[in-house]
Structure 1
Amino acid sequence: MKRLSKKLIETTKEQPIKIIQFGEGNFMRGFVDWQVQEMNKQQLFKGNVAVVQPIDQGLGDMLKEQDYLYTVILEGLLNKEIINTSEVISVIDTVINPYRDWNNYLALAENDTIEFIVSNTTEAGIQYNPQDQLSDMPQQSYPGKLTALLYKRFELGKKGFTIIPCELIDRNGEKLKEIVLTYAQDWKLGNDFKQWIENENTFCCSLVDRIVPGYPRDSAAELNEKHGYEDQLMVKAEPFMLWVIEGPQALKETLPLEKAGLNVIVTDDMTPYRQRKVHLLNGPHTTMVPLALLADVETVEDVMKDQDFRYFVDHLFADELIPMLSLPENELADYAEQIKERFLNPFVHHMLTSIALNSVSKYKARLLPVLLDYQQRRSELPPYMTAALAALILSYRGEKIKPQDDEAVLAIFADAWQTPETAVEVILSKESLWGQDLTTIKELPNQVQHYIEQLETIGSRKLIQKLNKGEKVYA
């Protein structure tokens, strides 16, 4: 079977590069690039993408071998209808590896047709690295590379960009701008450059939502046969997508995603949308992962089809999450039902182990604020979220589940579990993990310790069954 290439697939004529994209992974190809393709198909954007590899080892060479073409497969339920489509995406013009071709990377600053910069370099990508210098070729951090490109653009006397990061951190655009300005100060690039950053560039905060499991290993051969070509970079994604961009309304014209019929919201304040997504989509994921894995449940769909865990998910939404959020309850309930439909997607095969990556930081962002709010309002701890915290701490002991996290985080857990009788107290006290000392939260250490003992004696499933019956599993 022949490899996917422009010899096999007819693509649109060459179009100018309008977007620089940091990140060539599954998500960006199944989310941003797919949307650019949708705009181009309707003659609304007429622009392509130059991709920059954020790390040296990336997919650039593989994409080049396929003439920068790949297939996006949308499979799943959307509004109770089954969607099953395949489409070759042809919007990537080139992939640049700044570690091997720094001059070609900086040359992007000379291109007058480029208007936008988007990125997804993982949650850890938008961070300041004090070792980065302007003379580096390249800088190690994404913000360092971006600052070097912006400075080159400034030196050429050209207009700035609209910059829309997609990293899953709160206020991502503001944090990225803050780091760029820090580099400008540290590298002594002058007040004129800082003013140009402030006045000629727009940094937008954004929120992205689409489950993109990526390369479909289990069905790749079957899909290649169906498509009539071999594609080593095909991406599977769910049909649902949402992109909330906090920025000027003029974006609706310059980046006409909404006009293309895509579920994109340009707003003055994305806060309510972020709270809804982080706590109602990501929150249940983070809650179910350690408890379900300890019960030998493997996928999100398995969780939703399991009687014990489905009851647990339903009541997590209804009793612990929705009452703590500020949007209208009926709107949150409708969104929750939409999420449950997505969780039941029979095509995605979303492995719980893949969601388990960096569980500590995910719990801190997605669940801890709700748990603390619940405890403050009701003077008691939410049972499901507290049990999930206990299961997370137990799973990081590494006996049944191999935790996936930063080395510094794993080291804290490994050291604490050397002395099991004090492990919970030590782990909850670490501000570096949780942003505060959780041993000061009334009854939390005792309750977490008790849940861990329950998990070790009766197991995760029987603990969930007890909680589902409303039994007070108190210390």
Structure 2
Amino acid sequence: MNIQTYQYDSKNIQAGILHIGVGNFHRAHQQFYINELLKYEKQQHWGICGVCLLPSDEKIVSSLRSQNLMYTLTICGRDGKDEIHTIGSLTELIWGVEDPNAVITKIADSAIKIISLTITEGGYNLDKETNEFNLNDEKIKHDLENPNSPTTVFGFVAQGLRKRKADGNGSITILSCDNLQHNGNTAKRSFTAFIEAQDKDLAEWVKSNVTFPNSMVDRITPATTPEDRIRLNEKSGIDDQAPVYCEDFTQWVIEDQFIAGRPALEKVGVAFTQDVTAFENMKLSLLNASHTLLSYPSFLKGYRKVDEAMQDRAIVKLTRDFMDTDITPYVPAPENTDLEKYKQTLIERFSNHSVSDQVSRLCFDGISKFPVYIMPNLAKMIKDGKDLTRVAFLLASYRHYLKYKVDDKGYSYEVSEPWITEHDQKLISSNDPLDFLELSAFKSVDLKSSEAFTELYTQLVKSIKDKGVTPVLESI
């Protein structure tokens, strides 16, 4: 197997970016782009210092440290041909649980010009109902009252910025790389709300010294199972404790608002724009919403791999009809984009056997995904009197998935919903299907007031319970 090794001397690389959340997506996406960029000598001050803040990050930290932070990325082609890259752009890895002061010192370091983030859709601590930052969260209250011993991303960043300001180390950009509509605006709302509540002087400094560009990121990156690790290492011939694999498609569009300078990522295929809205609307409404749509019915039918589900004619039809009929009317095509080609490429990407994404990964944390991917377009569909069948089927499937925890084949499963509330649990347990429509994930739309929606949804809830998801999907 031909391995593409990185084209620079890692000893010459300096960190100009501090990235919080060194997960698989970050290592397949941002690290990949920076790794490609570092071959240009004048760009070698843009290496990445990784930061992990959770106790559960211990394994990835120790695995990467054991191999000098280098790892392999296998890019799986839709044509069945794979490329293996060695990635050396991670210059340092700090674990906040082990050394919190090192995180704070690094944020304050004048060489760091960008703090980038992959902290998941739910990580911004916004109330699902009001979209305001939740100052009453116990960990947030701890960090507000104990600025010198932070535990959350907000506490760490605030303390790092406070030190940066005191040391006179200049402005900085905070760049969200999470799948959120206007992710930069979301990051700005969350971080400024926390800092405003903690330190008014620092909040004033942030207004003129920190920018929050919006960005759109895209690359399907499955979790790496122990079996995947063996398979990937056999292919590469490298004993990698932390290999990553991903699809061959990748995209990154960023608003060009970097107050302290930025890497020349346009050299390696990143698009810079003044307004990312059309790109993120297309991606969140078509890719992410379709992933959510197909995830629960596929899981309930017994599929555990996305590419296997995409061999099912009924799943493909559901997905394509959703894209064409329910979503396309609300998605203006961004500049230089053929929407029909984009949708066809999505079907091919979902069907990519060599990526073989887990359906459970798509089902994970629906509470955070529905408000971002599904509800904005659903509100427009209800207002415009559109056919609500497919979205009603999705919500009925999601209720069944959360409530009964047994699929059509009789297999039981665990549900992973880290941001679910006690009130949500009561609504799921209720025998009245309409109670479920008050779930925190749906609060932005008054679903119960739409007779067209509730009628369809209650019928579908009953049909799925009586017959299973398979015949119900066939019927729609």
- The two structures have a TM-score, normalised by structure 1, of 0.87
1:151 to 2:162 alignment:
yes
- Equivalent residue for 1:104? 102
SS of 2:371's partner is helix
Question: What one-letter code is carried by the residue in structure 2 that aligns with 1:122?
Answer: T
Q: Is the 8 A contact 2:107 2:115 kept in 1?
A: no
Q: Is the 8 A contact 2:367 2:440 kept in 1?
A: no
Q: Is the 8 A contact 1:429 1:436 kept in 2?
A: no
- Equivalent residue for 1:404? 416
> 1:312 & 1:222 partners in 2: Cα distance?
33
> 2:462 & 2:447 partners in 1: Cα distance?
19
1:218 to 2:218 alignment:
no
> Deviations for 1:59-90, whole angstroms, at most 9, x for unmatched residues?
2222111111111111122xxx5441111111
292 and 346 in structure 1: CA distance in 2 versus 1, 3 angstrom threshold: same
> 2:54 & 2:342 partners in 1: Cα distance?
36
State the aligned residue count: 448
- Equivalent residue for 1:363? 370
- Equivalent residue for 1:384? 390
- Greater length-normalized contact order (CA 8 Å, ≥ 6 residues apart): 2
Question: Offset of 1:229 from its aligned partner?
Answer: 2.7
Question: Offset of 1:433 from its aligned partner?
Answer: 4.2
1:66 to 2:67 alignment:
yes
Match 1:87 to one of 71, 85, 88: 85
Question: Offset of 1:112 from its aligned partner?
Answer: 2.8
> 2:374 & 2:199 partners in 1: Cα distance?
41
Question: Offset of 1:167 from its aligned partner?
Answer: 2.1
- Equivalent residue for 1:472? none
> 2:103 & 2:429 partners in 1: Cα distance?
48
> 2:81 & 2:258 partners in 1: Cα distance?
31
> Deviations for 1:417-459, whole angstroms, at most 9, x for unmatched residues?
5542x2x111113456433431011222221110011112333
> 2:240 & 2:232 partners in 1: Cα distance?
9
SS of 2:68's partner is coil
Question: Offset of 1:21 from its aligned partner?
Answer: 0.8
Question: Offset of 1:289 from its aligned partner?
Answer: 1.2
Question: Offset of 1:321 from its aligned partner?
Answer: 1.6
> 1:226 & 1:180 partners in 2: Cα distance?
43
Question: Offset of 1:367 from its aligned partner?
Answer: 1.8
1:349 to 2:360 alignment:
no
> 1:430 & 1:346 partners in 2: Cα distance?
35
Question: What one-letter code is carried by the residue in structure 1 that aligns with 2:267?
Answer: K
- Equivalent residue for 1:273? 279
> 1:226 & 1:356 partners in 2: Cα distance?
29
Q: Is the 8 A contact 1:30 1:235 kept in 2?
A: yes
Q: Is the 8 A contact 1:289 1:356 kept in 2?
A: yes
Question: What one-letter code is carried by the residue in structure 1 that aligns with 2:350?
Answer: F
Question: Offset of 1:250 from its aligned partner?
Answer: 8.9
> 1:105 & 1:418 partners in 2: Cα distance?
42
> Deviations for 1:139-165, whole angstroms, at most 9, x for unmatched residues?
222122111111101001121112211
> Deviations for 1:281-300, whole angstroms, at most 9, x for unmatched residues?
01111111111222222222
449 and 241 in structure 1: CA distance in 2 versus 1, 3 angstrom threshold: same
- Equivalent residue for 2:410? none
1:181 to 2:192 alignment:
yes
> 2:145 & 2:267 partners in 1: Cα distance?
40
- Equivalent residue for 2:51? 52
> 1:57 & 1:456 partners in 2: Cα distance?
37
Q: Percent identity?
A: 21
Match 1:297 to one of 295, 298, 303: 303
- Equivalent residue for 2:128? none
Question: Offset of 1:36 from its aligned partner?
Answer: 0.8
201 and 372 in structure 1: CA distance in 2 versus 1, 3 angstrom threshold: closer
Question: What one-letter code is carried by the residue in structure 1 that aligns with 2:189?
Answer: E
> 1:417 & 1:21 partners in 2: Cα distance?
37
Question: What one-letter code is carried by the residue in structure 2 that aligns with 1:291?
Answer: P
Match 2:172 to one of 149, 157, 161: 161
- The two structures have a TM-score, normalised by structure 2, of 0.87
Match 2:238 to one of 222, 226, 229: 229
> 1:311 & 1:418 partners in 2: Cα distance?
31
Match 1:17 to one of 15, 18, 37: 15
> 2:147 & 2:97 partners in 1: Cα distance?
10
Q: Which moved more, 1:134-143 or 1:34-43?
A: 134-143
98 and 218 in structure 1: CA distance in 2 versus 1, 3 angstrom threshold: closer
> 2:76 & 2:272 partners in 1: Cα distance?
27
> 2:161 & 2:14 partners in 1: Cα distance?
20
Question: What one-letter code is carried by the residue in structure 2 that aligns with 1:139?
Answer: P
- Equivalent residue for 2:474? 465
Match 1:257 to one of 245, 250, 265: 265
Q: Is the 8 A contact 2:295 2:362 kept in 1?
A: yes
1:245 to 2:254 alignment:
yes
What 5-or-longer segments of structure 2 have no aligned partner? 126-132, 134-139, 407-412
Question: Offset of 1:20 from its aligned partner?
Answer: 0.6
332 and 115 in structure 1: CA distance in 2 versus 1, 3 angstrom threshold: same
Larger Rg: 1
SS of 2:403's partner is coil
SS of 1:74's partner is strand
224 and 11 in structure 1: CA distance in 2 versus 1, 3 angstrom threshold: farther
The alignment's C-alpha RMSD in Å is 2.6
Q: Is the 8 A contact 1:249 1:267 kept in 2?
A: no
> 2:186 & 2:113 partners in 1: Cα distance?
20
> Deviations for 1:94-116, whole angstroms, at most 9, x for unmatched residues?
11122322332222245332211
Question: Offset of 1:392 from its aligned partner?
Answer: 0.7
- Equivalent residue for 1:205? 214
419 and 312 in structure 1: CA distance in 2 versus 1, 3 angstrom threshold: closer
Match 2:115 to one of 100, 114, 117: 117
Q: Which moved more, 1:380-389 or 1:287-296?
A: 380-389
> 1:432 & 1:282 partners in 2: Cα distance?
16
- Equivalent residue for 2:462? 453
> 1:393 & 1:110 partners in 2: Cα distance?
46
SS of 1:211's partner is coil
Question: What one-letter code is carried by the residue in structure 2 that aligns with 1:309?
Answer: I
Question: What one-letter code is carried by the residue in structure 1 that aligns with 2:56?
Answer: Q
- Equivalent residue for 1:326? 332
